Amino acid sequence: MIDQVTNLTDQETPPLGQPTPLLDQPAPLLDRSACLTGQVIHLSGRVIVDATTELTDIWSVGGRLVFERPARPADRRIDGVVLPGLVDVHCHIGLGEKGAVTPAEARAQSLADRDSGVLLVRDAGCPRQPYDTRWLDDQIWAPRLVRCGQHLAITKRYLRHLPRNVEPGQLPQAAQVEALAGDGWVKLVGDWIDRSMPRPDLALLWSDDELSQAVQRVHALGARLTTHVFSAAGAAQALRCGVDCIEHGTGMDAAMMAQASRLGVPVVPTMIQRGNFAQIAASGQGKYPVWEAHLRRLYDERYAQVRALYDSGIQLLVGTDESAAIAHGSFYREVDLMARAGIPAEVITAAASYAARRYLGVPGIEPDASADLVVYPADPRQSVAVLGCPKAVVLRGEVVAGTITGRSRPPGKVTER
């Protein structure tokens, strides 16, 4: 199978909301349905469907899952503990330090995630120009993407090159555009440092009225909205205004946690990113002492606060926040840090697989679903360390990675940075 992509010229940038074409392609992109493997794979051992259902045997036939033994003998048998493909709900495929990366770079990012066992990604915001990632939808080797559209932020109130900048009063319309451009999700920045303050610190970007209107417009289109918030004020506003999911949530206190649990609003704790807060604070070089002290406090509290999120009954999801600063393929590092925070292995395993798929509305292990699976030598519900070394990664019925292919290696010691 050949999967070749080429760079685009600046003159061929599509309008907002339109997929980016691939130019100078020697042949049309391969159609997934035409390329699914015809082999039969028998997966046996412990097949974890969800928290209450286990099977002993399933089969992949032509890339689809079958629960009854097929008439044709299996071409291959893989024994172990089988999970639905892992899910990274906060990842940025196609994003780099200066915005959108080339298709070749996006391909490398995708493969690093796939080989770690991540077969479904909620792309939590990525520029669409001059490149977007729609072309990945036609690649049978690539993880499946559920896109949020581009980040929304106010000019000069977020990292350069990453967001679509909008001004106060424009958020509802911009959110509507991104809802139509994405795959049922919109991502916005709820708080960030405000350097115009006498003593700069994390501060809200939007008024309650504007954010509430944005949520309403997104919901009217059948989409959901998630928001980046570090501060207590940002989390409190997100809950007041009806957002569907909270990214980071580092400032949430006990009252906010109870409210999020009651409303059924999940939190993506992004442990790797929290571990960078001390370094980010140091980058201020003493210019913004209130902001720097704020980030250091959030850093110091990171493990206890994430354990409190779990104890409050909030649904936790696994998100690496991989982009320029965090290397793709870091999923094991994220779950290891969640375990260090005291989250039970069985809860992390669910959050990393079938529970996240259910939340995103993407099938896991069920009849006729795509055969997107990860096989482990032992049960990760006993120790998340198992997640770091998959025996086999099966995507669309094809064994694409894992120790049985030589495309996997133990992650080694996980250290904070």
CATH number of the domain enclosing 389: 2.30.40.10
Residues 108 and 71 in one domain: no
Residues 181 and 286 in one domain: yes
Instruction: Count helices and strands (H / E) in the chain.
Output: 13, 20
The answer as to whether 198 is a domain residue is yes
Q: What angle do CA 344, 350, 352 make, to 5 degrees?
A: 100
The answer to whether 23 and 102 have CB atoms below 8 angstroms apart is no
Residues 273 and 349 in one domain: yes
Q: Which domain holds residue 388?
A: 34-84+362-401
The answer as to whether 11 is a domain residue is no
Residues 304 and 389 in one domain: no
Residues 121 and 202 in one domain: yes
The answer as to whether 237 is a domain residue is yes
The answer as to whether 231 is a domain residue is yes
The answer as to whether 388 is a domain residue is yes
The answer to whether 317 and 89 have CB atoms below 8 angstroms apart is yes
Domain count, the chain: 2
Q: Going along 324-408, which residue ranges are E strands?
A: 373-376, 392-395, 398-401
Residues 185 and 311 in one domain: yes
The answer as to whether 367 is a domain residue is yes
Residues 182 and 288 in one domain: yes
Is residue 249 helix, strand or coil? coil
Q: Are strands 54-61 and 224-229 parallel, antiparallel or unpaired?
A: unpaired
Residues 252 and 332 in one domain: yes
Residues 341 and 373 in one domain: no
CA distance 114 to 107: 10
DSSP-derived secondary structure letter, 82: E
CATH of the domain at 262: 3.20.20.140
DSSP-derived secondary structure letter, 386: G
The answer as to whether 415 is a domain residue is no
Please give the chain's pLDDT, 417 residues, in tens. Answer: 223 222 222 223 333 333 333 322 322 333 343 345 589 999 999 999 999 999 999 999 999 999 999 999 999 999 999 999 999 999 999 999 889 999 999 999 999 999 999 999 999 998 888 898 999 999 999 999 999 999 999 999 999 888 999 999 999 999 999 999 999 999 999 999 999 999 999 999 999 999 999 999 999 999 999 999 999 999 999 999 999 999 999 999 999 999 999 999 999 999 999 999 999 999 989 999 999 999 999 999 999 999 999 999 999 999 999 998 899 999 999 999 999 999 999 999 999 999 999 999 999 999 999 999 999 999 999 999 999 999 999 999 999 999 999 877 667 566 664
State pTM to two decimals: 0.90
Residues 168 and 223 in one domain: yes
pLDDT digits (tens, 9 = 90+) for 10-23: 223 333 333 333 32
Residues 42 and 184 in one domain: no
- Tokens 């939590």 belong to 124
The answer as to whether 42 is a domain residue is yes
Residues 216 and 305 in one domain: yes
